[in-house]
Amino acid sequence: MNSKILLQATLTATTLTLGIGLETANAALLIGNTRGDNVVLFDEESGNFLGEFITPGSGGLKAPDSLLFGPDGNFYVSSGDAKENSAILRYDGTTGKFIDTFASGGGLIRPYGKAFSPDGNLYVSSFLTDQILRYDGKTGAFIDVFVQGNGKAGGLNGPNGLLFDSDGNLYVTTQGSVAVDGKPDFSFGLPSQVLRFDVATKTSSVFVDQPAPSPDSFGFVSFLGLAFGAGDDLFVSDFANDIRRYDSKTGALIDTLSTNYTDSVPSSNFIGSLTLNNNNILYSVGFDNTANSRNLGAILRYDALLGKPLPSQGNSGSVFVPTNDKLLRPIGIIYTDRKVIPVPEPSLTLSLLALLSFCAIRILNKKTKSV
């Protein structure tokens, strides 16, 4: 075999070897780290850490919030904590490679929830302007301000999660704040609610009024994530603690799931968004907010139908993945049964490139000696 063929064989073998250790997940949880500026992967069944899906700062990623797979199969992330860096970033839905800044402008400041509507447009919560903005779902071009907050109870005060139902109604969680000079002001004493919008008329009603605060909380309510379960029951996470399950037709409370995994009162952990898999298993993320905790996070798991916590082996309560340094103040979480590929570790790539160079030199040396 001549040196050229041998070298090509080595290149092919080494390229294939690059896949070693890169476990392709057939079902995974993707989690956005607001303090890590990245998106990480965990195996949905075992809870094993699979690696990064989006590396820190890729495409300008900053303080990622809600995560969403679009109708085009790509991955959309709410990014930015100020006017100058607020945008919806688009990544390849399989590899996590940055594609483009899909949507920005229109006054967007601190994007939180987002959702593609039945007509294909993208709706985005602009938290620090108390608005929901609309963008073209294919081009990302700004369309208009769909609705503006009014600083009154029942209004769009601190909009967060967005979710469309099968009838095309838009559900929105509000945190009860009023945007003042680009900052949230909670001094107005407004309630945290779930609003339901008729998209055609832009009119809204209070679907879920502010409930009594969780007994494990600091005495406030801050609705955040939204997800539909089996039977279209609506699950809503509360940043201040607890996940509540509501009848999606009437708004009546069905069940309350405790999220106080740190077992302190008031709870030292806060709660991010939530997601459900195809078997109606519900996952959420939380993080410890004590002074020395570094906001390290954990993943929680429940049987959504029975309202039962589903801890992994060796853990208690609802803890699926215990507190660890891969989760840095996590907020966004989404389940996917798509194949997703983690980014290779730099040390692995360098080691294999070194192996490739060594093999190539050996082949060339042998060829030289045989001449």
Protein fold of 26-343: Neuraminidase (2.120.10)
Nearest to 18 by CA among 355, 340, 338: 355
| Cis amide linkage into residue 266, ω under 30° from 0 | yes
Could you tell me the residue ranges of all domains in the chain?
1-22+348-371, 26-343
Nearest to 241 by CA among 218, 219, 217, 220: 217
Q: What is the pLDDT of residue 279?
A: 95
Alpha-carbon Rg for the chain in angstroms: 23
Separation CA 334–CA 68 (nearest Å) = 7
Separation CA 233–CA 194 (nearest Å) = 14
pLDDT digits 0-9 by tens, 23-49: 566 799 999 999 999 999 999 999 999
287, 296 Cβ separation under 8 angstroms: yes
Which residues, given as ranges, of the chain have pLDDT below 50? 1, 3-7, 9-21, 347-357, 359-361, 363-364, 367-371
136-145, Cβ contacts within 8 angstroms, sequence gap of 24 or more: 137/70, 137/71, 140/88, 140/90, 140/100, 140/101, 140/102, 140/103, 140/104, 141/103, 142/103, 142/105, 142/106, 144/106, 145/106, 145/107
59, 89 Cβ separation under 8 angstroms: yes
Quote the Cα angle for 96-279-232, to 5°.
95
Nearest to 238 by CA among 310, 324, 147, 173: 173
Dihedral sign, CA of 121, 127, 128, 130?
positive
pLDDT digits 0-9 by tens, 75-117: 999 999 999 999 999 999 999 999 999 999 999 999 999 999 9
Separation CA 136–CA 218 (nearest Å) = 40
Q: What is the pLDDT of residue 215?
A: 96
Q: What is the pLDDT of residue 238?
A: 98
pLDDT digits 0-9 by tens, 290-326: 988 899 999 999 999 999 999 999 999 999 999 999 9
